[in-house]
Amino acid sequence: MEFCDECGSMMHSDDGLWVCGSCGFEKPRDVENEADMTTTEDQDTDSGPVDMSEVDDAEIGPTTTVRCPECGNDRARYEMKQIRAADESETRFFTCTECDHKWREDDH
């Protein structure tokens, strides 16, 4: 696996080149270097929960288009959490990208 030097996205192989699907950056493949790469084949990928307690909120999560009830901004980061019984759907929590106001999907 190779990551783009320009934008950090995962690259794919195409005719002896590594090509970034996000920004189009290309670089030649290095067969000797690739022999030393670690793969995820036969690895346990379920290592349990990830501790995000010391990560700044600005670095967490994808964003979506949703109107902030506090300032009217139209972008917010979101995260899904299971706060009820396992047979009920997750709750989506939002954080405004402008004012950092926090709310959940079912708040009105």
23 is in an annotated binding site: yes
Determine the Cα–Cα distance for residues 82 and 41; give it in Å rounded to an integer: 30
Q: Which tens digit of pLDDT belongs to each residue from 32-89?
A: 777 776 666 666 666 667 676 676 655 667 889 999 999 999 999 988 888 777 787 8
64 is in an annotated binding site: no
74 is in an annotated binding site: no
**Could you tell me whether strands 10-14 and 63-65 are parallel, antiparallel, or unpaired per DSSP bridges?**
unpaired
Please state the domain extents for the chain.
2-35, 60-104
Q: How far is CA 68 from CA 42, 76, 104, in A?
A: 44, 7, 11
59 is in an annotated binding site: no
Q: What is the pTM of this model?
A: 0.43
Phi-psi region of 13 (alpha: psi -120 to 50; beta: other; left: phi over 0): beta
Q: Which residues of 8-23 are buried (b: 16+ CB within 10 A; e: fewer)?
A: eeebeeeeeebbbeee
CATH 1.10.10.10 for the 60-104 domain, yes or no: no
